[in-house]
Amino acid sequence: MNDGKDNSADNSEDKREELTSLRPAWQTLAEGSGRPRPAVNLKRKRRQQRWAWGAESLVAAAGALAGLVLIVQGPALIGIAALVYSLFGAALAWKTRSINIDLLGHSTRDYLAARRTVLKTKRNHDAGGALMCLAALGFFWFVRGQQAMAWSTLDWSILVGLLVAAACLAIRGWRLQRLIVEAEQQAAVVRHG
C-alpha cells in the first residue's frame, strides 16, 4: 500500500519534471526572442477607465435630471422612479468598480463565482429598468389617452425617451446575460478538473 503511494508520488514528481524541462523554452518567450514584452501604457488604460466612469456618471446624471424635471413638470410618479433608479444605478456602478478590483486577488474559483453574482446584479438592474420603462410608457400612454388632449413636445419627449431607455437597457442586459453564461461555463470548466 505504502509502495503504491510512493510510486504515485514518484510518478507525479516525474510528470512535473517533464513539464519543468520545457521551462527554458517557455521562460525565454519574453526575453528578447520570439515574443518581446510590450512596454506598459498605463496612461491609456487610465484614460479609458476615466471615460467609462464618466459615461456611467453622465447616464446616471441624465436619468436623475429627467426624473427631477418629471417630478416638477410631468407625471411625478415616473419622475420619482427615474430619480431613484438612476441614483441606485450610479451607486451600483461605483460599488462594482471597487468590488472588481478586490475580486481579482481571489482564487480563480471564488473570482468566477463572485463575478457571476456581480454580473447578475447588474443584469437584474438593467432588466428591471427596461421593465420599469415599459410600465411607465404604458401608464403614461393610458393617462394621456384618458385626458383626451393634444400631445405636447414634452409628452413626445417622455415617450421617445422611455422607448430609447428601455431599448438601451434591454441590449445591455442581454450582453450581460451572455457574459453570465460565459462565466458559468468557465466556472464549470475550472471546477471539474
Partner 1 sequence: MSFDALIDDYGDMVWRIALAHERNAAVAEELYQEICFALWSSRDRIEEAEHPKAYVARIAMNQAISHVRREVKLPETVAVAVDAADDDAKSLDDTLHRLHQQERLLDAVQQLPLNWRQPVTLTLEGFKPAEIAYVMGTTANSISLRLSRARTTLRQLLNDDMDATKRPVGATA
Report the interface residues with partner 1, using CB under 8 A. 11-12, 15-16, 18-20, 22-23, 25-38, 40-42, 44-46, 49, 101, 103-112, 115, 179, 183, 186, 189-190, 192-193
State the minimum distance, in angstroms, from the CB of residue 125 to partner 1.
19
Q: Which cell numbers hold the place of 119?
A: 454580473
Instruction: Pick the closer one to partner 1 by CB: 54 or 138.
Output: 54
Instruction: Pick the closer one to partner 1 by CB: 76 or 106.
Output: 106
State the minimum distance, in angstroms, from the CB of residue 179 to partner 1.
8
Cβ atoms 115, 101 nearer than 8 A: no
State the minimum distance, in angstroms, from the CB of residue 35 to partner 1.
6
State the minimum distance, in angstroms, from the CB of residue 166 to partner 1.
25
Instruction: Pick the closer one to partner 1 by CB: 18 or 153.
Output: 18
- One DSSP character per residue, the chain reads -HHHHHHHHHHHHHHHHHHHTTHHHHHGGGSSSSSPPPPP-HHHHHHHHHHHHHHHHHHHHHHHHHHHHHHHHS-HHHHHHHHHHHHHHHHHHHHHHHHHHHHTTS-HHHHHHHHHHHHHHHHHHHHHHHHHHHHHHHHHHHHHHHHT----HHHHHHHHHHHHHHHHHHHHHHHHHHHHHHHHHHHHHHH--
State the minimum distance, in angstroms, from the CB of residue 28 to partner 1.
7
Instruction: Pick the closer one to partner 1 by CB: 37 or 148.
Output: 37
Instruction: Pick the closer one to partner 1 by CB: 25 or 76.
Output: 25
